[in-house]
């Protein structure tokens, strides 16, 4: 009699262990799917056009095996995209827009100093540029990463103070 009780107990224990492992596996897979969805939604939202800020992508000229070192052409491309966007926003010709400044800076995170409410950004120092344009008596700020993204900033945050320009 004791022998059969032992085998029943053992079967129950094995069944519980299997159910426990399956529960952990389901939880782990669900967590991974949720993380993937959040990352994907964050990337999609980052590339969406809104009325407050616009994001552009420039093609870097360096190959992907070397670190991205912007060239004069890359910087001019960023300036041209910012000027074209501002011209479109204001309804003025690009030749009526004046470049006041393009400064190499370090942004405090992946938002490039233009955080949007409800968004989550990589918390890493991000090298880039501060571009200031003038049309008439108004000054406008665009923030850029090194050679890839230009964002119009209505409510800009400042770059990291005291960082070397060529970080």
Q: Mean pLDDT for the chain?
A: 76
Strand order, beta sheet including 55-57: 55-57, 149-153, 138-145, 126-135, 98-107
Contact of 104 with 127, CB cutoff 8 Å: yes
Residues 146, 73, single domain; the answer is yes
Query: Does residue 100 belong to any structural domain of this protein?
Result: yes
Mean local confidence (pLDDT), 100-110: 93
Name the phi and psi angles at 120, rounded to 5.
-120, 135
Residues 141, 92, single domain; the answer is yes
Provide CB contacts within 8 A for 153, sequence distance 6+. Answer: 53, 113, 114, 141, 142, 143
Residues 74, 102, single domain; the answer is yes
What is the extent of the structural domain holding 1? 1-46
Query: What integer pLDDT is reported at residue 24 of this predicted model?
Result: 72
Residues 89, 18, single domain; the answer is no
With a cut of 50, say whether residue 50 has pLDDT above it.
no
97-112 CB burial, b ≥16 within 10 A, e <16: beeeebebbbbbbbbb
With a cut of 80, say whether residue 12 has pLDDT above it.
no
Query: Does residue 130 belong to any structural domain of this protein?
Result: yes
Mean local confidence (pLDDT), 11-32: 69
Query: Does residue 60 belong to any structural domain of this protein?
Result: yes
Query: What integer pLDDT is reported at residue 141 of this predicted model?
Result: 96
Total number of domains constituting the chain: 2
Mean local confidence (pLDDT), 89-106: 95
Strand partners, 130: 103, 143
């Amino acid at each position: 009699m004791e022998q059969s009780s032992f085998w029943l107990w053992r079967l129950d224990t094995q069944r519980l262990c299997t159910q426990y492992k399956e529960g952990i596996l389901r939880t782990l897979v669900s967590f991974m799917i949720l993380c993937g969805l959040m990352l994907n939604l964050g990337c999609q939202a980052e590339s969406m056009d809104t009325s407050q800020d616009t994001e552009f992508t420039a093609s870097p000229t360096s190959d992907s095996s070397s670190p991205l070192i912007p060239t004069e052409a890359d910087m001019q491309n960023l300036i041209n995209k910012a000027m074209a966007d501002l011209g479109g926003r204001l309804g003025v010709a690009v030749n009526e827009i004046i470049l006041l400044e393009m400064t190499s800076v370090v942004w405090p995170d992946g938002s490039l100093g233009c955080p949007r409410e409800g968004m989550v950004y990589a918390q890493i120092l991000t090298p880039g540029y501060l571009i200031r344009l003038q049309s008439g008596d108004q000054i406008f700020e665009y923030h850029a990463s090194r050679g890839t993204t230009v964002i119009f900033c209505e409510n800009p945050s400042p770059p990291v103070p005291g960082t070397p320009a060529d970080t």
